[in-house]
Amino acid sequence: MKKYLRGFFAVTFAFSLAFSQVADAKTLNELKQEQSDLANKKQQTQNALNETKAKQQDISAEIESLDKVVTEAQNQLDAVKTELNEVTARLAESEIQLKEATDKKEAQLKSFETRIKFLHENGSIGYLQIILSAESFTDFLTRMQYVNDIMNYDNKLLGELKESERVIEEKTKEIAEDKTRVEVLVAEQQTKTDELNAKMAEKQATYSQYQLDAAKYEQELASWDKASKEVESLIAQASAASTRSSSNSGGSAMGNVTYTGGQFAWPVPGRSYISSGYGYRSRPIGSGSEFHTGYDIPASYGANIVAAEAGTVIYASYMNGYGYTVMINHGGGLVTLYGHNSKLVVSKGDTVSRGQVIAKAGSTGNSTGNHCHFEVRLNGSHTSPKPYLGV
């Protein structure tokens, strides 16, 4: 697609040069043939533009559909994280219960150990001595009851001890299983969400590229249209004079609009310096170097951003990397771009005048602070703003 664009721009420039040098020598037939060629080129560009917009609509629908999936995945991730928090709280409560059960077991164990020690040291003789020491039959029965109660207590104590051990084992197993289960769910859902977000970022990058391609085709279409109108004017002049007369109107050919240094208005009133110029620089985000395609002009949040020159707004929306962006077509393949805004006050298709407020400064997109990223694009390619701003 980029190769296709370069070809069109090269042809555009060739037609511009041709108009300015040989318009006077062209016959009426030659001009008509040139008009037909321009019409074909214009139709080719229109077809490419239509195809790009169709692709843009398709991927927009894909993004909308994917956004629903991403939202659902995020909701599921939030749900399992909430469940993990609830299990964590429940595990904390279970740990308290386990500690209480453990303390009870230890107390029971100590009591049981005391009882075992007594039996070990005295054996059955100890109980027999207690019974035979009775002073009367009534006392004998009472002592027999005491011994029976002690033995029943020992049995009950042993049963409670085993029950405490069972509760501890079940609680421990429950804690381990719940923790493992929920942690696995969170990890799986996090992976799924990350993959969907990466896919969404890829789709959005493609969508942004289609937007740029469409803008370039629209600029080229305008150039072909201007060239066609200029040829029509030459044909009219030639027809009015004779079937074979030269066009000597003195009008300039279609092509690049030439601006003298400082002709553009400064895009950020009251802010007369730049924080980053045009050319290679260290990346403000991440590591390494990059080619900076414009000027960064610092501005306070919400400060006015104005049109550097009169023209037509060809883009006014969020653009990946640039954030909220305005692009203005000034004719002749010349476009200015204003990026990282916090708010846009113009819409696509609006006609703006020089110095008109078009946006409010901000730090949207890939930005490290409030500023206006200002670009000058000539036939789709970025160029230094210096000749246009006089900086």
Q: Are 364 and 340 in contact (CB under 8 A)?
A: yes
How confident is the model over 64-93, as a mean pLDDT? Answer: 83
Q: Which residues, including other chains, have CB under 8 Å from residue 160's CB and lie 6 or more apart?
A: 108
Q: Which of 177-181, 304-308, 327-331 has the lowest mean pLDDT?
A: 177-181
- Per-residue pLDDT band at 267 (split at 50, 70, 90): very high
Examine the domain organization and report whether 171 and 289 are in the same domain. no
How confident is the model over 21-26, as a mean pLDDT? Answer: 45
Examine the domain organization and report whether 365 and 249 are in the same domain. no
Examine the domain organization and report whether 34 and 129 are in the same domain. yes
Residue 238 pLDDT exceeds 50: no
**Higher local confidence (pLDDT), 133 or 302:** 302
How, if at all, do strands 311-319 and 351-352 pair? Answer: antiparallel
Count of alpha carbons within 13 angstroms of residue 91, beta-carbon side? 16
pLDDT tens-digit readout, 340-385: 999 999 999 999 999 999 999 998 887 778 999 999 888 777 889 9
Examine the domain organization and report whether 197 and 338 are in the same domain. no
Q: How far apart are CA 223 and CA 24, in angstroms?
A: 21
Q: Which of 129-143, 229-243, 285-299, 345-359 has the lowest mean pLDDT?
A: 229-243
Residue 110 pLDDT exceeds 80: no
- Per-residue pLDDT band at 269 (split at 50, 70, 90): very high
Q: Which of 12-21, 149-158, 297-306 has the lowest mean pLDDT?
A: 12-21
Q: How far apart are CA 88 and CA 103, in angstroms?
A: 22
Examine the domain organization and report whether 249 and 287 are in the same domain. no
- Per-residue pLDDT band at 258 (split at 50, 70, 90): very low
**Higher local confidence (pLDDT), 366 or 334:** 334
Q: How far apart are CA 96 and CA 83, in angstroms?
A: 20
Examine the domain organization and report whether 294 and 336 are in the same domain. yes
Helix and strand tally (H, E) in the chain?
4, 12
In terms of average pLDDT, the best of 17-26, 86-95, 188-197, 222-231 is 188-197
What are the structure tokens assigned to 35, written together? 């008009």
Q: How far apart are CA 229 and CA 235, in angstroms?
A: 10
- Per-residue pLDDT band at 31 (split at 50, 70, 90): low
How confident is the model over 231-253, as a mean pLDDT? Answer: 43
How confident is the model over 245-253, as a mean pLDDT? Answer: 34
CATH number of the domain enclosing 292: 2.70.70.10
Q: Which residues, including other chains, have CB under 8 Å from residue 279's CB and lie 6 or more apart?
A: 291, 292, 384
Examine the domain organization and report whether 141 and 14 are in the same domain. yes
What pLDDT score does 160 carry? Answer: 72
What pLDDT score does 285 carry? Answer: 45
- What's the DSSP call for residue 256? P
Q: Are 84 and 181 in contact (CB under 8 A)?
A: no
**Higher local confidence (pLDDT), 260 or 8:** 8
**Higher local confidence (pLDDT), 303 or 151:** 303
State which of 231, 255, 279 marks the end of a domain. Answer: 255
Q: Are 374 and 297 in contact (CB under 8 A)?
A: yes
State which of 225, 255, 285 marks the end of a domain. Answer: 255
Examine the domain organization and report whether 235 and 313 are in the same domain. no
How confident is the model over 248-268, as a mean pLDDT? Answer: 52
Examine the domain organization and report whether 241 and 264 are in the same domain. no
How confident is the model over 170-177, as a mean pLDDT? Answer: 77
**Higher local confidence (pLDDT), 375 or 203:** 375
Examine the domain organization and report whether 293 and 387 are in the same domain. yes
Q: How far apart are CA 218 and CA 221, in angstroms?
A: 5
CATH number of the domain enclosing 107: 1.10.287.2610
Q: Which of 108-122, 201-215, 360-374 has the lowest mean pLDDT?
A: 108-122
The residue range of the domain holding 372 is 256-391
Q: Number of structural domains, the chain?
A: 2
What pLDDT score does 346 carry? Answer: 96
**Average pLDDT over the chain, rounded to an integer:** 74
CA angle 69, 70, 73 (to 5 degrees): 85
What are the structure tokens assigned to 199, written together? 């896919």
Residue 10: Cβ-neighbour burial (10 angstroms; 0-12, 13-18, 19+): exposed
Q: Which residues, including other chains, have CB under 8 Å from residue 19's CB and lie 6 or more apart?
A: 227, 230, 253, 254, 255
Examine the domain organization and report whether 199 and 217 are in the same domain. yes
pLDDT tens-digit readout, 272-328: 788 888 887 665 544 455 678 889 999 999 999 999 999 999 889 887 778 899 989
What pLDDT score does 233 carry? Answer: 63
Q: Are 303 and 382 in contact (CB under 8 A)?
A: no
What are the structure tokens assigned to 346, written together? 């113009």
What pLDDT score does 46 carry? Answer: 80
Q: Are 109 and 154 in contact (CB under 8 A)?
A: no
